[in-house]
Amino acid sequence: MSPRPSRRSLLALTAAPLAATAATAAAGAPAAADARAVGATAVGGARLARPGVQVSAATALPRGLTARAWLLADWESGEVLAAYRAHQRLAPASTLKMLFADTVLGRFARTDRHTVTEADLADIPDGSSLVGIQAGTTYTVEQLWQGVFLRSGNDAVHVLAAMNGGIPKTVAEMQARAADLQALDTHVVSPDGYDHPGQLSSAYDLTLFARHGLKNADFRGYCATRTADFPAGGRKTFQIQNTDRLLTGSWGLKTYDGMIGVKNGYTTHAGNTFAGAAVRGGRTLLVTVMHPAAGNNAVYEETAALLDWGFAQGRGAARAVGSLVEPLSEGGARAGGPSGQRAAGAAGGTGGGASGATAAEGPSTWRLLEGGGLTAALLAGGAWALRRRLRTRPAAAAAGSGPRRPGDAGLPDDPGRSGDPVRSGDAVRPGTGPDADSRGRHRR
C-alpha cells in the first residue's frame, strides 16, 4: 500500500475567478471528492446530467460494465451515443495530461532543444511516473512530448511546464483552456494529473480534451506512437514503449483494431482511467472509461467493449443522447445550466492549441485548427498560485545505474504488489530511476 501523504505533501490553493469549481472539492481529499454525486450540469444536453445509463438504441449495451463513469461519442459529429454519469466529477489521473498537451503543445517547435536543470525537476511529486529525464542532459521538445505521451512521465511534464513559464502559469492556462472547451467539471491543481485535493474532471470533459486534441496533427501523432528511442545521456539511448495496452498489446491483451491512442492513467484515488479513439470504415469513435472495478485490464476491456458496441451500431443506428460542445473560441455556443452560468464570467480565449504542422492523413476527416492566443486578462483573472510547493525528492536522483530497454528486469511494467502487475503507465519508486524495481502502488 502507498504511504499516507504527509501534511507537507498537500498543495494549498489560492482562490481565483476561474476557480469557481474548486468550491465543490477543495476542502476534501480526492477520495471524498471521488464519491460525490453528479453535479447538476446541462453541458452537452439534459440527459447527460442524469445519473443512470443514457442510451437510445435497439441493441443492448455490453454486459459487465463496472466503471464509475463512461462515455462513448462520435469524433466527427460530436454526438454522444451512450453515457453513464457523464458529468460525475472524479480524479482524472494522467488522462489530465491531454489538457496539458492541448494547452502547451503549440508553444514550442518539435526541434527546439532544452537542457534540463535541477530546478526543472525539483517539485515532481513523490511516487510519480517517470520517463527518466536527467538534469544536465539536452532534449528536443519532440523527445519531451514522447516522454509525456508514451511513458506518462511527470518529469517530462514538469520540464515542459518550466519551459512554459512555470507550474502556476501552466495550471492557470490549463484552467482557461478547460473553460474555453466548456469542460466545466474540470478543476486543475497540477499539470500532471497527480492526486491532489480538488483535482477533478469527468468522462464528458476528458472526452472533450481527446476530441479537441486529436484535431492537432502533433497530438495525434504522439498519442499513436508505439515506441521511441529516448536519450540516456551522452550518445546513448533507451527504448520507451507506449503504455496504452490496446495500442501495443501487453498483459494478455491484443491490440485493438483501429486504435489510435489517446491517454491512460492510474492513481491511488482515480484508479484506472482511459480516454481513447479508434477508427473503422472511416468512422472515428471516442470513449472514456473512469475507475472500473479492480482488475488489471478492466479499463481496457470495458473500453474495447464499448467501442465494439459503437461500431456495430452503424451511423445513425443509435440516436444521440447528448453532444460534445464546441470550444467558445471556435464559435461554440455557451452551454446552458448551472455550469454554463458558472463559466459566463470567464474569458473565452485560449492558448495556441495547434502546432502549425501540416495535418497528416488521418483516420477520418481530420482537420488542424489554430487556437487563439491566451489573453493577458485571462491570465490575470485565472492565475492559480501554488502557495506551498510539494516537497519531494529531487527527480535527478532517479538516474540510477543507467536506463535499460523494455524487457530488462525492473522496468515499470514489472510486477508490483504480489500477483498484481503495476498498472499501465505506472512508474518506479521515487529516487530509483526508470530501470529500477517497482514496489507499492503508484500515484500520479
Residue 330 CB-density burial (10 A; 0-12 exposed, 13-18 middle, 19+ buried): middle
Using DSSP's 3-state secondary structure scheme, residue 266 falls into: strand
Q: Residue 200 gets which letter from DSSP?
A: B
Which residue reads 483535482 in cell numbers?
Answer: 199
Residue 205 and residue 112 in contact, taking contact as beta carbons nearer than 8 Å: no
Of 97, 128, 129, 202, the active-site residue reads: 97
Residue 419 and residue 244 in contact, taking contact as beta carbons nearer than 8 Å: no
Active-site residue flag, 97: yes
Distance CA 104, CA 82 (A): 31
Of 94, 201, 250, 339, the active-site residue reads: 94
Cell of 279: 477508427
Distance CA 301, CA 272 (A): 12
Residue 242 CB-density burial (10 A; 0-12 exposed, 13-18 middle, 19+ buried): buried
Q: How many CB atoms are located within 10 Å of the residue 318 CB? A: 23
Of 128, 129, 152, 339, the active-site residue reads: 152
Instruction: Name the nearest CA neighbour of 182 among 336, 366, 357.
Output: 336
Using DSSP's 3-state secondary structure scheme, residue 361 falls into: coil
DSSP-derived pairing of the beta strands 283-290 and 322-323: unpaired
Distances in Å between the alpha carbon of 347 and those of 92, 213, 236, 352, 374?
A: 24, 20, 46, 15, 9
331: left (phi over 0), alpha (psi -120 to 50) or beta: left
User: H-type helices in 126-272, by residue range?
Assistant: 141-151, 154-163, 167-181, 203-213, 217-223, 245-248
Residue 311 and residue 141 in contact, taking contact as beta carbons nearer than 8 Å: no
Distance CA 297, CA 303 (A): 10
Residue 430 and residue 127 in contact, taking contact as beta carbons nearer than 8 Å: yes
Q: Residue 77 gets which letter from DSSP?
A: T
3-state helix, strand, coil in the chain (%, to 5): 30, 15, 55
Active-site residue flag, 236: no
Distance CA 13, CA 136 (A): 32
Give catalytic residue positions.
Answer: 94, 97, 152
